[in-house]
Amino acid sequence: ALKILENAQLNEHSTKVPALFVCTSGKVVFENGLKQQLSSCGYIHIEPYVKNGVKGVRHSKLLLIK
């Protein structure tokens, strides 16, 4: 589980395996070349070796499932 505060940022990084990124509460912007807004119950599939980052729009709780 991760917590991202409003206006906080998780720096750009990548993963070696496919992953599922789930926003359980709050709102974030997920960026992987495209900007996608995720809010409660929103999710995105993360492909291996694709750089991505996250910025908090509101205080948020997130799950990263690999």
pLDDT of residue 6: 96
> How much is the pTM?
0.88
Query: How high is the mean pLDDT in each 10-residue block of the chain (66 residues)?
Result: 95 95 97 94 96 97 96
Q: What is the 3-state secondary structure (H, E, C) of the chain?
A: CEEECCCCEEEEECCCCCEEEEEEECEEEEECCCEEEEECCEEEEECCCCCEEEEECCCEEEEEEC
